[in-house]
Chains A and B, each alone.
Chain A
């Protein structure tokens, strides 16, 4: 792969701590890897609408040999963490890139790549073409394939560094949401099981249900976005101000730590511990006192069983509660707060204290109370989803904030504190 790659220049990007090389490459070689990258990655295959006239114009220009701006690529450091490029040898670097070509990511130039691919297909296609047109197109295709384009490649860079650079490179274009950038960047994560975790691409992914160890990719992305953004609310719309704020926050992060990985594994451990400590608690509405029972009124009487059917709770076990989407953004924003306040210095710090979570009473009392409080919030709040996210944000903050010893690591206290702050 990439036989024609020739490195022309190199330099270090000290902000994201990565080596950047400038190279030229024949279009035919680039297209081989471009197709692989796009075929391997659903999100990078996604196409942004380009007006047909502009699109056609650029294709025509490429046929006659126009130049296009440098395409920016990256190889992340996840696969080979020990690789360092302090002694620069272009031959070794070339070989390294050639060997890892399939793992390249497109940071900037996705649409240019789409147009190159389309043009190649158009020239190759012989259907409905007259013979003289086919001959002419073969000639054009040969010239096109042999032309060189400029590429920049970031090497040994963390995904977080890539994210940062993606956002800065895209400045001036219509901004892409932070969430979308994270989706593109981490879309190959946990497709197969890794450390007991698998991330599902789609909510209704053929019979795969959300359960311990099996999470929705999009919800993890929301959690990571909430961590970067510091807000438990999902941002639907995107404006320039949000974009600039995200950049500012990102620039404060340590580019050496992979937050996505840390977030997933920390959440996974937290869920594991909460399930274990819940002692197989199952919510049973009939055990509630009359005051609390009022929050679960009878909706109907089942015709067959003659049993009363009451309003469904937020969740009826530790697993169902802590697998809800509200948890991810709540946890993400809480981690952001804890880091800002110095209670943790990075996400992974939480792993050291998760095992120390305890109950003042019993898991049953604590979790029954949590479900009742959540129902109370559902009833009292104007925006249910948002209030629940806020509840979990304060729940995790109270639980893991060592500056507030009243509720530190005590589930009941954290529930009370979160409820007071939410309502």
Chain B
């Protein structure tokens, strides 16, 4: 994929980077419009630390933050507690002032190098989506064209730089989607995402980065299991959750992750306690050929017990959800006080002891009693929007921490 523009007849054409010059701490590139045989010059807007950089040493991914992005939302990134690159808003390229406030340091040099590499990769644009610019704007702006014009003002770049022990082969961005979602990040995977990703209005102090400063560190965790390969899990974090949904639909779609995991847990349990082994086969054989009712009865009882045993601890829904929260994903209620607070506004002060109690009660209320809720609360949508923000964190954590039943 290259940078693109929309021509006067709505045709989409490419702009390829044909030249990239770096000299005397300045850089510029030439973009070539093959169709009309025109070159556009694009200057790199920030200071450059080193004229030579290894542009292949990093890989970039595009995101948006559903809670909005500010010019100074630029952070060092740690993956599983190891420094692994940066996250920065595209609009940083038009706000060089923010960098001038930063004292000279190794940290700043790293940042400048990463931004330089990021810019080059955004122009080269081999694997990421681009938001085509209108040709008329391209002509009007000419050499005043900016990198933001080819993406959009809300675009965020995640620049991954593997540590010495890691490599690109072992890195899969999908495995970080749940962790990224907890901070509001959703991936831009297709052109339409530039317009379609839903933006959620929240009070500034509720923003996940309210207490962070420019170039602080944020940590992302990888999904521990192979869960992200499951189609629904991949869909929900890759596409579904970033779209505009009604609050109740969002809750139900999120809850589907729990349904999916509960089913998985039950199946795993059953497979572990699989009753139909060779002994079972002989037992059935013996029962068929039994010569007394007593023998038949005893054998049937044994068969029944074996079958019951294979599903007994997971037969009830409440047991399955409890297993998921406490054994498979090991979530602690203390980490989710905002969720509890938001839940109480919907289910009232019900006696719930565990996190899964709250989740299950909520599910029952919303699935079975939504019509009454809707009649009782004028601001139900607002309550659900706030609840969903917290519920997404729980769902993300369930997926990140999920470990197969041992």
Contact = CB atoms under 8 A, between A and B. Distances in A.
B213 interface: yes
A-side binding surface: helix, strand, loop or mixed?
Answer: loop
B139 A48 contact: yes
Contacts of A177: 140-141
A299 B216 contact: yes
A46 B70 contact: no
A174 B213 CA distance: 42
Interface residues of B, number: 37
A361 interface: no
Interface in A366-383: 378-383
A196 interface: no
Interface string B22-45: 001110000001001110100001
Interface string B84-96: 0000000000011
Contact of B136 (A50, A174, A297, A381): A174
A204 B204 contact: no
B290 interface: no
Contact of B72 (A237, A313, A384): A384
B26 A385 contact: no
Contacts of B97: 324-326
Contact of A381 (B38, B140, B204, B215): B204
B247 interface: no
Interface in B36-62: 36-38, 40, 45, 47
A203 interface: yes
A85 interface: no
B353 to A, nearest CB: 37
B38 A50 contact: yes
B138 interface: yes
Most chain B CB within 10 A, of A177, A204, A237, A238, is at A204
Interface in B137-167: 137-144, 148, 153
Interface string B79-113: 00000000000000001110001110000000000
Interface string B151-185: 00100000000000000000000000000000000
B38 A385 contact: no
A174 B140 contact: yes
A379 B40 CA distance: 37
A204 B72 contact: no
A202 to B, nearest CB: 8
B144 A382 contact: no
Contacts of B148: 236
Given A203-B45, A312-B103, A380-B204, A176 B140 contact: yes
B78 interface: no
B71 interface: yes
A101 B180 CA distance: 62
A378 B214 CA distance: 11
A206 B26 CA distance: 10
Most chain A CB within 10 A, of B71, B136, B148, B213, is at B213
A180 interface: yes
Given A50-B38, A180-B144, A380-B204, A297 B213 contact: yes
A120 to B, nearest CB: 20
A175 B140 contact: yes
Nearest to A326: B97
B140 A49 contact: no
Interface string A304-343: 0000010111100000000011100000000000000000
A240 to B, nearest CB: 11
By size class, the interface of chain A is 35 or more
A69 interface: no
Nearest to B146: A236
A385 B142 contact: no
Contacts of A49: 33, 36, 38, 40, 138-139, 142
Contacts of B70: 381-384
Contacts of B215: 299
Contacts of B33: 49
A89 interface: no
B-side binding surface: helix, strand, loop or mixed?
Answer: loop
Contacts of B144: 180
B68 interface: yes
Contacts of B214: 311-312
A391 to B, nearest CB: 14
A51 interface: yes
B36 A51 contact: yes
A46 B43 CA distance: 14
A52 interface: yes
A81 interface: no
Contacts of B139: 48-49, 174
B96 A203 contact: yes
Contacts of A382: 68, 70, 204
A311 B97 CA distance: 14
A46 B72 contact: no
A369 to B, nearest CB: 19
A15 interface: no
A47 interface: yes
B71 A299 contact: no
A48 B148 CA distance: 20
Nearest to A311: B213
Contacts of B216: 299
Contact of B140 (A238, A299, A314): A238
A163 B210 CA distance: 45
B142 A47 contact: yes
Nearest to B44: A204
Interface string B349-382: 0000000000000000000000000000000000
Contacts of B143: 46
Contacts of A206: 24
Nearest to B25: A204
B208 to A, nearest CB: 14
A232 to B, nearest CB: 15
Interface in B207-252: 210, 213-216
Given A49-B38, A238-B137, A312-B214, 12 more contacts: A46-B142, A48-B139, A52-B38, A174-B136, A174-B139, A176-B140, A177-B140, A202-B26, A236-B148, A312-B103, A378-B72, A384-B71
24 contacts: A47-B142, A48-B139, A49-B139, A49-B142, A50-B38, A51-B36, A52-B36, A52-B38, A174-B136, A175-B140, A180-B144, A204-B25, A236-B148, A236-B153, A237-B137, A299-B213, A311-B214, A312-B103, A378-B72, A379-B210, A380-B204, A381-B204, A383-B70, A385-B71
Nearest 7 pairs between A and B by C-beta? A49-B38, A312-B101, A52-B37, A51-B36, A311-B213, A384-B71, A174-B136
Interface of B: 24-26, 33, 36-38, 40, 45, 47, 68, 70-72, 95-97, 101-103, 136-144, 148, 153, 204, 210, 213-216
